Structure 1
């Protein structure tokens, strides 16, 4: 796979970074939260005034109206046509039409008058009736600008009231999603030489309904191109610290000089900003990355930075069986499991078998097989999934055993964990299946890991052919992603394990066992005598005299036969050469070590030691790997098993 290496920040002009270890006092953190609805809006000039209507509503059910100077209040019978103006965030520039009786020196004049105003608020009320009340809207207006004089004492008549919102040349209002102490507005202007874009910016605090709760603050300024020789893009960031204090703010912008091809103004972005002083994080490491922005970038890039760091974890001393909660750098999957379970997950220490976990880690032939380099940055990933991901990188499976999380590595086993025959198997779920082709229809494997050189996804591929295993892409590969694997040694070991499993493990078995099934776990190797195969003979030990064993079943010898015997706690011996006895067919002779046997007497011993006896080929066929175990309500256990094969400890060797 070809991949482009990442660039170091140190090699990029103007870029830098700084780490803040846990407990470091950071003098100031400036946290900015973008306005969701601001993204390069153009601000129209007065010569581009747009009178297109956005919304309008009219009614003849006017209850009352008062007008004083540049303010007015109009009460109407509630109408759904006015719901838009009731719900919209305010203040809102509107056009108003009312019927007014103006008291002039020449006499009273009654006529419809249309004027511009600011709709500041709207309230609901009713007439107080208990049954079928009449509901009202009352609209408060300010900043009235009328084309005709409306003297003091003029009367608003109960004949017509119209509200209209025009698009106009005001951009906004825009509303912050997050509270902040400051408001930053970023403008950009396309300007000819010696040209400037003048603007008026108004801002105010709002509540959860986006209604104004503070005075409106105004700010007039400009963006200017001082060049005498060329047009240019000019940028300006305008920062405001409102007297009202920390709040959600809204703003709107109006261009106050005319626009042209050489005089265009845009709102690039806006931020609600909070400054935090003397900040410290006792348990976290922070990094500040500074990069130089690119003007007129020709491509779109994600701002994504990767830090190559080593996880700091707790550990466990397998010799003293004690925890070490001192945080130290570690790439060990065992340390990662312990830290995730005990520190992050806050689980009790007696719910995890750390002795078995660290025994597996110490038994690895190469430490690279036990590396885990990964960060869980999604808090929604469950604790169980995290443990599974960590263990998967090291060929380890995690499973529950009597309320304790324990572990087993997928590798060859010296001895079987248990022996099963018809004496401790329930017949109704016994089933063996065989894949005539590769399991799942796969003809190879594809392992995905992350290359430490490129920090990109990298693949190791093997294909099964008539001549054997070759390193090339398969047509239908078994795909496995090794999250947390950043070394080829570990990934290649897993790839060779899986491709050999496709060849060597094609049989599956399901069976239900009696209470003996409680003592086996996923990942362990067991021996099962096939009830329907006469070449696989099994039973239990009746007596022992030296190397002579009496058995419950008659044994038929054919060729070189080998036997396995379980001791008093169910552990099995290795396979041992067995010979026929001359005095009886119910027995055999074998140099079995001096183990403690369970001899059935019906009182003190009711679970006798068992044996299985077969030829070497048949003995190999009796070995299975437990892949799943489920307890049943009747005290039995359902086991799912794969055909066992001797998986190497390290396929790189």
Structure 2
């Protein structure tokens, strides 16, 4: 991609059009029907040697072969030379003040979370610029692939693939929100340098399990948003008169006509058919032990307690104490759940009975057991259930035959082995026992069909979530097993979503007696690679007012395993995040890293972690996608020397730090350079073809002296102001907090509660000292600026840069004494104008020195009225010889008026080939009086 700048009027420095194009010639042909006769095309920089204006077929072909920046300058009818100010029209450095106050170009929909004001989350930024991170931020990576989750042992596990940014980084810390990931059980994170395979152990940071497989590429179904699967059953009979007879009969003690509600081959759900020994509810304090046992003392005498195969534990909150530094923190973990019992021992105590209940695979039911490091006595509900002498016939069955008095089931013992226990009861039936029983007719209610158009899909995954667990409450308050079956159908579709081929059917039964929420994942390999449609429903469910079988289709996605294992220019992150307790959901994604960008030292050396603004500027200038400069176009030694000067002046390298994430595709290199130099209290500029920076600091010497010899006659005016500009009573600077990267403000003001502050939003400042110093500099500029001047200067003004200190004679005042030095005789100067000096006043002469400084020397009247006597020699020889282009100029001022001649050049605009209009404000060291208050 090439950039073309069209400068229609070279005298208007800031007016040009800019386009990004693939073919420069094609673009110019569309832009100009007839190419202007006075127009020239320059490649990369505006200079005669870079003139690539096509005049022949061969030169057109050469132009088409070039890449980079192209400048089309349309000159006026009068020929002019290519002056440095034309170059500055394109590469002019913006002022510190402009960048400090400059708002964002526009609010970006795909802005990096690093630049958001709050609630930073890992998100997909389609079409967004890969973050260019510089300095030392807390970085929130972008998602570069759709995240996906599965359930492992009932817990939600989400997998993510993220990008921190281009280039290399030194990782200091990784957090999820505000918690170190090392402290989050089950979480795994791995960070890979550019070009390193992401399924290896070759990481720059890792915690948790290693990633050995490539992440899946997934496409989620937009139609699935957590729909609940509707109950498939219609309750047709509810009665306590029903009983059951071996081997397969359902009968009634009353006159129920079964043929009115059921028919052969109907699927029915039997609910509440529980007989025999019921659940045992124990009361009292409970001891939770580290060896996965539950101990309770009760006055209830249980016969054969070892016959109980299950334990329901409710309200079991245990206290967890951990040390964070020197502080002990207390939290609570819930170990409630329906557990499988490996044995129950019973002993007699003075007040009753002592029961020790040993749990089997307790961690599989509730992982919170891993946090129990000490035995604890708590208050909890304890129910022993699943007695081996109970008969639980509740389940789903198919009808073989129906008469008015009974229902015959198809081989029910193959579905539920408890039917065989009926053979041991009197009359081989439960006629002597009563229970509230329901008979439901099963009718499936589908979610779908829904389609996923993923061209390379290899499998389809269903994530089901049981928000209330899966259980039934018995008539005695206990908990027993509930069940249901998920029925799934899927079929291949073509690129247009038209289904073809076989419909594949799979069912998955769930039987649990758990009150704890859990999830389940089902994955099927597709018979044909490509798009797929699916539908899902709930079948064979145990349903009743006291049964919890709610299930949601939380997510369905198609997936494939991609072959891409390396990312050449990006630092990539893989993460495995475990869902929270209770809700079993993965919270909003807030994975973040404290890091430092690694850059090639001085643009060519070894990769080094740095927050240096100078190194950031050099990197961006050389970067092929940003500055696109060569090493010969950057004055590296000068930039480093100026950075050192800043650090030494403030006494801290924090003054030269730059931390920012560049995420805007429309940001030019000049704008990026302005951000960096602004944070360093500098400005960028070109010296010839080289990029340099200039530190704004107190200036003892002025650069130029302007008097009637180098000012256009009658072009000057001075304005004296009273009060602060726009009535401001302070400056409010917004910057990035070094603690948590939120945007914070600091106010510089002379009043305790300012009401009308100037708002400045900075980019790249991430330490308090930088921000406070910036705020006070800007406030002092408002407070101490009282005098401005504007005049048109001759062409020596070309050497000036913004914020240069200059001396300006007030030529509107008849008493102003200025001109040229005509001759030098020792310490005696002969001047172009006569002088008026009294014996009572102290006078100084300001002399323009040839090294672009102004020497100020005390003077006394000479023998003649056009002569003065210096009290010391000038720092350099004065230029007085005939034939010199510029002679030494001077101005004589009374001592107390010295301050009124010193100004800062704030703006320069071209007036003609040889003149510039300068706008200036009074200079004072008071602008910088707070410079050493914060570093």
**Aligned-pair CA distance for 1:234:** 4.4
| Residues 253 and 619 of structure 1, relative CA distance in 2, 3 Å threshold | same
> Secondary structure of the equivalent of 2:561?
strand
- Asked if the contact 2:738/2:766 (under 8 Å) is kept, the reply is yes
**Aligned-pair CA distance for 1:515:** 0.7
> Secondary structure of the equivalent of 1:350?
helix
- Asked if the contact 1:550/1:586 (under 8 Å) is kept, the reply is yes
Q: After superposition, give the CA deviation of every residue in 1:506-559 in whole Å (9 maximum; x if it has no partner).
A: 433333322112111113211111221345432111111111112222222252
The residue correspondences of 1:46-195 to structure 2 (distance < 5 A) are: 169-176=446-453, 180-189=457-466, 192-193=470-471, 194-195=482-483
| Residues 611 and 192 of structure 1, relative CA distance in 2, 3 Å threshold | same
For the pair 1:24 / 2:196, whether they are aligned, the reply is yes
For the pair 1:328 / 2:622, whether they are aligned, the reply is no
Query: Aligned pair count?
Result: 511
| Residues 171 and 452 of structure 1, relative CA distance in 2, 3 Å threshold | same
The equivalent residue for 2:638 is: 356
The equivalent residue for 1:595 is: 876
- Asked if the contact 1:581/1:589 (under 8 Å) is kept, the reply is no
| Residues 530 and 243 of structure 1, relative CA distance in 2, 3 Å threshold | farther
Q: After superposition, give the CA deviation of every residue in 1:457-493 in whole Å (9 maximum; x if it has no partner).
A: 343332213xxxxxx5532223333433333233333
Give me the whole-angstrom Cα distance separating, in 1, the residues matched to 2:598 and 2:916: 41
When normalised by structure 2's length, the TM-score is 0.50
Give me the whole-angstrom Cα distance separating, in 1, the residues matched to 2:528 and 2:712: 79
For the pair 1:266 / 2:552, whether they are aligned, the reply is yes
> Secondary structure of the equivalent of 2:776?
helix
| Residues 369 and 243 of structure 1, relative CA distance in 2, 3 Å threshold | same
> Secondary structure of the equivalent of 2:899?
helix
Give me the whole-angstrom Cα distance separating, in 2, the residues matched to 1:16 and 1:340: 34
Correspondence for 2:185 among 6, 9, 13: 13
The equivalent residue for 2:45 is: none
Higher relative contact order (CA 8 A, sep 6+): 2
For the pair 1:204 / 2:492, whether they are aligned, the reply is yes
Give me the whole-angstrom Cα distance separating, in 2, the residues matched to 1:297 and 1:642: 64
The equivalent residue for 1:475 is: 755
**Aligned-pair CA distance for 1:307:** 1.0
| Residues 301 and 169 of structure 1, relative CA distance in 2, 3 Å threshold | closer
For the pair 1:239 / 2:511, whether they are aligned, the reply is no
Give me the whole-angstrom Cα distance separating, in 1, the residues matched to 2:764 and 2:560: 36
The equivalent residue for 1:484 is: 764
**Aligned-pair CA distance for 1:36:** 4.1
Task: Give unmatched runs, 5+ long, in structure 2.
Answer: 1-118, 120-176, 200-212, 235-444, 472-481
**Aligned-pair CA distance for 1:278:** 7.3
Give the structure with the higher percent strand: 1
Correspondence for 2:225 among 29, 39, 42: 39
The equivalent residue for 1:493 is: 773
> Secondary structure of the equivalent of 1:286?
strand
- Asked if the contact 1:351/1:404 (under 8 Å) is kept, the reply is yes
Q: After alignment, is 323-332 or 5-14 more displaced?
A: 5-14
Give me the whole-angstrom Cα distance separating, in 1, the residues matched to 2:562 and 2:229: 33
| Residues 596 and 279 of structure 1, relative CA distance in 2, 3 Å threshold | same
Give me the whole-angstrom Cα distance separating, in 2, the residues matched to 1:474 and 1:495: 14
> Secondary structure of the equivalent of 2:604?
strand
**Aligned-pair CA distance for 1:641:** 2.5
The equivalent residue for 2:749 is: 463
- Asked if the contact 1:15/1:291 (under 8 Å) is kept, the reply is yes
Q: After alignment, is 282-291 or 509-518 more displaced?
A: 282-291
Give me the whole-angstrom Cα distance separating, in 1, the residues matched to 2:876 and 2:622: 40
> Secondary structure of the equivalent of 1:574?
strand
Give me the whole-angstrom Cα distance separating, in 1, the residues matched to 2:775 and 2:895: 30
Give me the whole-angstrom Cα distance separating, in 1, the residues matched to 2:900 and 2:459: 75
Q: After superposition, give the CA deviation of every residue in 1:303-362 in whole Å (9 maximum; x if it has no partner).
A: 22221111111233xxxxxx5332111121111111121135232233333333211111
Correspondence for 2:859 among 550, 554, 578: 578
The equivalent residue for 1:444 is: 730
**Aligned-pair CA distance for 1:610:** 0.8
For the pair 1:620 / 2:899, whether they are aligned, the reply is yes
- Asked if the contact 1:550/1:588 (under 8 Å) is kept, the reply is no
> Secondary structure of the equivalent of 2:738?
coil
Correspondence for 2:539 among 257, 275, 289: 257
Q: After alignment, is 344-353 or 326-335 more displaced?
A: 344-353
The equivalent residue for 2:416 is: none
Give me the whole-angstrom Cα distance separating, in 1, the residues matched to 2:641 and 2:574: 40
For the pair 1:389 / 2:389, whether they are aligned, the reply is no
> Secondary structure of the equivalent of 1:566?
strand
The equivalent residue for 1:526 is: 806
Give me the whole-angstrom Cα distance separating, in 2, the residues matched to 1:36 and 1:536: 80
| Residues 547 and 17 of structure 1, relative CA distance in 2, 3 Å threshold | same
The equivalent residue for 2:916 is: 637
**Aligned-pair CA distance for 1:625:** 1.7
Give me the whole-angstrom Cα distance separating, in 2, the residues matched to 1:298 and 1:621: 73
- Asked if the contact 1:580/1:589 (under 8 Å) is kept, the reply is no
